[in-house]
Chain A
Amino acid sequence: MHIEPVYLVPPRPLSAWTRRSFLLAGATFAGGASLGSACGFAIGARRDALPAIGEPEPTGDVELDQLRALAARGADADLVQHRLLFVASTFSHYGQDPVLWHGIARLADLVCVDATFPDRSVFARALAGVIERADSPHAAACKQRVDALRRQR
């Protein structure tokens, strides 16, 4: 004896729904990405862009000159690689140097935009703490970045 299935509601063809779902998901993703980019740009644009600085003048202090060179014209990758030494040297010995604070602001921007930044959350909060404690007038541009640093996870 052969039993045929009886459908109270006839099944709909799957292919149409699958295609529609795919299109819907794609459109949702595209919309979300556009909105996210716009919001991210709006948040980022609130910070003043860093002005370019020229070649730093020699100071006669070899350590300071190397740190200033890194801050002014060092590659992003080099600045990130030496971030702990750079920041620690700035706040402990050279807290009034404007070029080094330019480097701190560069690091703040890098950690905010680069999801692959090493130890991102801890470093961002550590950098925020350093900037908040700074009593240098040259740290003003960095203080605009503290809120963004505190948001990094």
Chain B
Amino acid sequence: MSPQGGGGLRVMGPALQGGTIRVEVGSNVDSVEISAGSSAETIRHEVAPGKVNELPVPPVPGGTILWISIGKGLNRKVVLVEVLAP
């Protein structure tokens, strides 16, 4: 397993309720998963590799922590982001 916080995934700025979240991904990353903490509440987004992508914040209450991840299996990279009420 690789350590937490590896390259290839960076969240820029806050995640406002009802807004979008800016996610920068590495050049070999073509999808990002955003989850509220269950498989039923996980959404997969296609993204542009090597760029900053604007992805919709899921409809969750303010204060919810989102699990944003790239990759698969034991090579997955994960970042936590809190959803802020506007």
Contact = CB atoms under 8 A, between A and B. Distances in A.
Interface of A: 63, 66, 70, 81-85, 87-89, 91-93, 95, 118-119, 122-123, 125-126, 129-130, 132-134
Given A92-B39, A123-B80, A129-B36, A83 B74 contact: no
Interface stretch (B10-18, B19-27, B48-56, B61-69): B61-69
Q: Is the interface of A mostly helix, strand, loop or mixed?
A: helix
A133 B36 contact: yes
Chain B contact residues: over half helix, strand or loop, or mixed?
mixed
Interface of B: 1, 3-4, 33, 35-42, 63-65, 67, 69, 73-74, 76-80, 82
Given A92-B42, A122-B82, A85 B76 contact: yes
A66 B74 CA distance: 9
B37 A85 contact: no
B4 A81 contact: yes
Nearest to B40: A133
A82 B6 CA distance: 11
A130 B80 contact: no
